[in-house]
Amino acid sequence: MDPFAKKMIYGALVFGSVMVLMAAAVSVMYFHLYPRCAEQVLSSAVSPNKQWIASVMERRCGEESPFFLHVNLRSGGQSILLGYFSGRATGGEIFVVEGDASGPVPEVEWTSPNQLTIRCSRCSSAFAQKLDEHWGPVLVRYETK
């Protein structure tokens, strides 16, 4: 094979590889900066010993998808961890209920340093997707109707 043709093929392969890598890098940046899901903190409560934080959050993944209200627990010194590509805060998620923008909003109250009470007057346990009663050393009580 002609040396010039070899250089042309090699150059084309290198150029193509660089273009694929650039497209992958731009895609990673795009999906991280503009995740599919949006999370919004509605309220937070800190435990009496300041060891835990409970946050009531609202999630929506797309224009046509429903709202989800959820409660996330985390250590006092941590911030809310969002998924790198999804934008979802699923770590420490102990309560999830499907809702709408004007629907019921859960209330969280620490009744002791390791006991959390979640009140949701119009959240039926039949509609709840997740009802964890323990999260590590934290006991979770629910008051739903």
Instruction: Quote the pLDDT of residue 140.
Output: 92
**Positive or negative CA dihedral for 73, 70, 81, 55?**
negative
Question: How does strand 138-144 pair with strand 115-120?
Answer: parallel
Domain spans, the chain: 1-34, 38-144
Instruction: Quote the pLDDT of residue 117.
Output: 92
User: 7-38: per-residue pLDDT in tens?
Assistant: 999 999 999 999 999 999 999 898 888 888 88
Closest CA to 120 of 135, 107, 103: 107
Above pLDDT 70, what percent of the chain?
Answer: 91
Above pLDDT 90, what percent of the chain?
Answer: 39
User: 68-119: per-residue pLDDT in tens?
Assistant: 888 999 998 888 888 888 888 888 898 888 876 566 788 999 999 999 999 8
Instruction: Quote the pLDDT of residue 68.
Output: 86
Instruction: Quote the pLDDT of residue 126.
Output: 53
CA 106/CA 43 separation, integer angstroms: 9
Closest CA to 70 of 34, 110, 46, 41: 41
pLDDT at 145 over 90: no
Indicate the average pLDDT of the chain.
86
Instruction: Quote the pLDDT of residue 120.
Output: 82
